[in-house]
Amino acid sequence: MSEPTLYELSATGRKAVSLPECDVKLATIPEHLIRADNGLPELTEQQIVRHYLRLSQRNFGVDCGFYPLGSCTMKHNPKTSEQTARLPGFAQIHPFQDEEIVQGALQLIFELQDQLKEIGGFEAVSLQPTAGAQGELTALLMIRAYNAARGEGHRNEILIPDSAHGTNPASATMAGYIAVEVPSNGRGNVDLDAVRAACSGRLAGIMLTNPNTLGLFEERVEELVALVRESGGVVYGDGANMNALTAIARPGDLGIDLMHFNLHKTFATPHGGGGPGSGPLGASGQLAPYLPSPIVERRPEDKKGWVEYTLTCPSHSIGRMSSFHGSFGMFVRAYSYLRRLGAPGLRAAAIDAVLNSNYLRVRLRDDYPVPFDRTCMHEFVCEGQPKGSEVRAIDVSKRLMDFGFHPPTNYFPLTVREALMIEPTENECKATLDAFVEAMRAIAREAREEPGRLREAPSTTPVRRLDEVRAARELTVCEPTLRT
Amino acid sequence: MSFTTHTKDARRAMLDAIGVASAEALFDDIPLHARFPDLELPPAISDIELERTFRRLSQRNVTLDDGPSFLGAGCYRHFIPATVDYVLQRGEFYTSYTPYQPELSQGMLQAMFEYQSMICRLTGMEVSNASHYDGATSLAEAALLALDEAGKNRSRILISPAVHPHYRDVVATYLSGTQASLIGPEDTTLSAADLVGKVCEETAALVIQTPNFFGYLEDLNGIAEKVHARGALLVVLVDPIMLGLFQPPGSYGADIVVADGQSLGIAPSFGGPSVGIFATRRAYIRRLVGRLVGETTDVEGQRGYVLTLATREQHIRRAKATSNICTNSALGALAAATYLATLGRQGLRQVAELCYHKSHYAAARIAALPRCSVNPATPDRPFFKEFSVELPLPAAEVNQALQKEFGIIGGYDLGRSYPAMTNRLLIAATEMNPREEIDRLVEALEQITASRAVR
């Protein structure tokens, strides 16, 4: 049964909130600027609570069960992080308060910057970007400014491997670059010969996701970095998959010049149904002066008006990328996670993320072919068409829902047919992984013997398969007035 | 804390299944010199220490609850009803991701559809996306949409000098990747009517903020027609609270409406995360940025919701997408939706009225002080929630005194953004400021200006 909308539940005159009477003299409101009706619904508090409770019951999160959505790192979101972010001293502070009365917040930003620098092997970190894709865009704008400053402003091409996230080429376009796609080789890594051929005086840089979206570490990353650098290019690392490398290897040590972190993946801040995220950006020495502002500096004590932590603007900053200081609430959560784990805990988490992924790979590969079947990192990609069947990856995914699992990522990367991208994360125990394997195997059997069950799935969810063509044709994207 | 789960036996069994002797062997692809670095991070702390450490750190901040506060300038203290955090704390919502699998995501999808519906009604527009990062980035994307729509010959975004200075910075940063540029006069007292004449054949869009950074309400009736006649789009940046009471931009012909949604149920949290509101006309639906939820039916004819027009987006269109945005601010939009549903038709209007009257009361009382003048250049222009005060001494000094001597968090020191305005304070009053707080502010300002201005 469908849940009525807020507007369907609304009736004239209902109220859910009690506001104070105006305790000051009423001022004259300019009549010609007033509207008759602001169009909001009218409900009681109980109606609102029940409505959203019922909606939540029609939604699946990591708290509900196994969520192996590849490339998204759906790891557990610690409840302590939710508590610390809600401390009044963090939640109830304004970005324009004088620095001396927000030293705690500035210290937290400074320490998070500092620890991300250490984890990534970078010279400096800015926490401005509000999401991973914005981190990418920020990095490309920095490369643009850096090249312009050294008289290389004509460089206008960015190399992007064919397995990259769609955000990479989209960010390149937004930054005014031409995205040049480079193919993968037979081992699922970037084809070095193709990179060599694409390196020219027009090269601005490369966007390198490592491990890549096949979950494979770039075996020849240092040769790749050397090639790009010899051509005068900058190496940007997309840190989307950093959960495999945290405390295992520092991108800066491998020659990466710039990289964004996803706090909502690697550092366990919640995905929120699609954000808010946070995409801090690390930079090596020659790029660090171009980082977006502000960043927090700790300064040695002097005399008058001394504050220990202060907001500053890097010397050649490209400017601001968000309204204020970035997603501060996410910084508190990520920093809570960091402090609870420490370096050994971070390494243990990365190791188990990789262990879990390899375990699922070897247990599933007999039914679901793995095209680049070698040791993977935190995720792997298999074909979602079980051997001996004609079903599609989407059918396998929908059927998984009936077994109580969230499906993996479908049809990405584009380099694998019927792709299922599986990322179990470090939190899941062997029993959960085994149950998932059993479900996948049962589905493979069904795919061969009674494929109709897959094509009709899911049958246990609040709604069944939805007509996406109709949605795109009719484009009902807001409540029709007639219905209300 | 251990973030891992395996027993010794389970780990052994898994390694055997994989066929490696140790988990460390799984990392052999990584160059040896870079493998397993010694990181200099502070040691892990217990949950009890964590709670204590973070509480102490948080107590180094003076909060907006510790005393009266009159800071605004794009981030506001508004009442947040209890329903908001109740909804935000549902694990089914906040631990989910983008609803790529609609059958398991109907809750978030319907909530986003309802958010879009309320934003459309509130702004008077036909289409709203499911959220952007924040107000500044929404505005930057609006500029990019307008440039794309306008074509190659129009490469200027004419922006009002009274648009939030941080937003101007963000738009400029975004445009640094394009051939386009941000232009506009520097005189912050100019109104929309003054700017419309500057729209020319190179202009892709005129950007107006109402209430503007200084709190003035812009009368935009008739402006869109003039902008359109000159071939450009009208982008309007609003305060969503104002829309509870005042005309929606859709009613006077705006093409794109953007806003920061922090006022709608999101804690200030040192300025982020927030939610960016982005609404436009149906004509631009295929150029819209970000997620969009549409209504449809399932195979049994039941109503349901899906992400739609994904062909605009980066995961499908890659280099040709309308934007690179992926993760947006869904939970921020959920907070805003819960807020709007809870405040409702009458409540949001009442909040807007309270902001209007309280800010006017504060302005009138401060204007009566001997050494202060309110909205000095144009005292008769209507304003909402915020106004500026010209002081006989630097605003920074006044703020210091307010904080140290009176326990009041003052206003925004406009000198931080405009070097010629070092004596100017931007003051916001909302429904959260009872009259006695405003009276305390006025008395404090009177004492501070009387005792120090004599120098």
Do B204 and B329 belong to one domain? yes
Q: Are A280 and A261 in contact (CB under 8 A)?
A: yes
Do A199 and A224 belong to one domain? yes
Alpha carbons A316 and A328: distance in angstroms, whole number: 24
Do B392 and B253 belong to one domain? no
Asked if A80's CB is within 8 angstroms of B64's CB, the reply is no
Task: Give the nearest partner residue to A475 out of B87, B107, B308, using CB atoms.
Answer: B308
Q: Are B260 and B269 in contact (CB under 8 A)?
A: no
- Beta pairing class for A409-410 and A419-422: antiparallel
Residue A73 lies in a domain: no
Q: Which two tokens stand for residue B151?
A: 């074509």
H-helix segments, A281-427:
328-364, 393-402
Q: Which two tokens stand for residue A52?
A: 């959203």
Q: Are A167 and B328 in contact (CB under 8 A)?
A: no
Residue A303 lies in a domain: yes
Please state, as a whole number, how many other Cβ atoms lie within 10 Å of the Cβ of residue B421.
Answer: 18
H-helix segments, B158-293:
165-175, 192-196, 223-229
Write the CB contacts of A209 (distance below 8 Å, at least 6 apart in sequence): A161, A163, A164, A165, A168, A237, A238, A240, A241
Asked if A349's CB is within 8 angstroms of B4's CB, the reply is yes
Distance from CA of A447 to the nearest CA of B (A): 20
The CATH number of whichever domain residue B121 belongs to comes to 3.40.640.10
Do A47 and A148 belong to one domain? no
Using a CB-CB distance cutoff of 8 angstroms, which residues of chain B are in contact with residue A69? 97, 100
Task: Give the nearest partner residue to B101 out of A2, A29, A406, using CB atoms.
Answer: A406
CA-based nearest residue to B71, from B270, B265, B350? B270
Interface test mutation site (partner A, options B324, B325, B416, B442, max chain A beta carbons within 10 A): B324
The CATH number of whichever domain residue A88 belongs to comes to 3.40.640.10
Interface test mutation site (partner A, options B18, B22, B36, B58, max chain A beta carbons within 10 A): B58
Asked if B1's CB is within 8 angstroms of A340's CB, the reply is yes
Do B305 and B444 belong to one domain? no
Instruction: Quote the mean pLDDT of chain A.
Output: 96
Asked if B134's CB is within 8 angstroms of A478's CB, the reply is no
Residue A1 pLDDT more than 80?
Answer: no
B-chain residue closest to A179, CA distance:
B319
Do B204 and B251 belong to one domain? yes
Task: Give the nearest partner residue to A118 out of B10, B41, B382, using CB atoms.
Answer: B41
Q: In which element (H, E) is residue A421 found?
A: strand A419-422
Residue-wise burial string across B178-198, b where 16 or more C-beta atoms lie within 10 A, e elsewhere? bebebebeeebebbbeebbee
Query: Which residues sit opposite B158 in a β-bridge?
Result: B183, B206
Write the CB contacts of B270 (distance below 8 Å, at least 6 apart in sequence): A90, A93, A94, A95, A102, A105, A324, A325, A328, A329
3-state secondary structure of B111: helix
Do A314 and A355 belong to one domain? no
How confident is residue B3, by pLDDT bands cut at 50, 70 and 90?
Answer: confident
Predicted local distance difference test score (pLDDT) of residue B455: 47
How confident is residue A143, by pLDDT bands cut at 50, 70 and 90?
Answer: very high
Alpha carbons A248 and B30: distance in angstroms, whole number: 9
Average pLDDT rounded to a whole number, residues A402-419: 96
Do A324 and A398 belong to one domain? no
Do A45 and A163 belong to one domain? no
A-chain residue closest to B331, CA distance:
A272
pLDDT digits (tens, 9 = 90+) for B292-351: 999 999 999 999 999 999 988 888 899 999 999 999 999 999 999 999 999 999 999 999
Distance from CA of A268 to the nearest CA of B (A): 10
Do A142 and A289 belong to one domain? yes
Do A177 and A86 belong to one domain? yes
Alpha carbons A94 and B72: distance in angstroms, whole number: 8
Interface test mutation site (partner A, options B5, B62, B66, B104, max chain A beta carbons within 10 A): B104
Alpha carbons B52 and B71: distance in angstroms, whole number: 29
Task: Give the nearest partner residue to A35 out of B44, B133, B248, using CB atoms.
Answer: B248
ipTM over 0.85: yes
How confident is residue A301, by pLDDT bands cut at 50, 70 and 90?
Answer: confident
Q: Are B339 and A6 in contact (CB under 8 A)?
A: no
Predicted local distance difference test score (pLDDT) of residue A252: 98
Asked if A271's CB is within 8 angstroms of B294's CB, the reply is no
Predicted local distance difference test score (pLDDT) of residue B379: 85
Q: Which domain holds residue A210?
A: 80-338
Write the CB contacts of A374 (distance below 8 Å, at least 6 apart in sequence): A187, A188, A216
The CATH number of whichever domain residue B371 belongs to comes to 3.90.1150.10
Query: Which residues sit opposite B234 in a β-bridge?
Result: B206
Does any CB of chain A come closer than 8 Å to the CB of residue B345? Answer: yes
pLDDT digits (tens, 9 = 90+) for A57-80: 999 999 999 999 999 999 999 999
Do A302 and A361 belong to one domain? no
Residue A178 lies in a domain: yes
pLDDT digits (tens, 9 = 90+) for A23-45: 999 999 999 999 999 999 999 99
Instruction: Quote the mean pLDDT of chain B.
Output: 96
Residue A75 lies in a domain: no
Predicted local distance difference test score (pLDDT) of residue B336: 98
How confident is residue B29, by pLDDT bands cut at 50, 70 and 90?
Answer: very high
Q: Which domain holds residue B87?
A: 82-338
Phi-psi region of B281 (alpha: psi -120 to 50; beta: other; left: phi over 0): beta
Query: E-strand spans in B34-164?
Result: 127-128, 156-159
Interface test mutation site (partner B, options A59, A125, A238, A411, max chain B beta carbons within 10 A): A59
Does any CB of chain B come closer than 8 Å to the CB of residue A147? Answer: no
3-state secondary structure of A25: coil
Task: Give the nearest partner residue to A329 out of B64, B269, B293, using CB atoms.
Answer: B269
Average pLDDT rounded to a whole number, residues B361-382: 94
In this complex, how many residue pairs, one in chain A and one in chain B, have their CB atoms less than 8 Å apart? 701
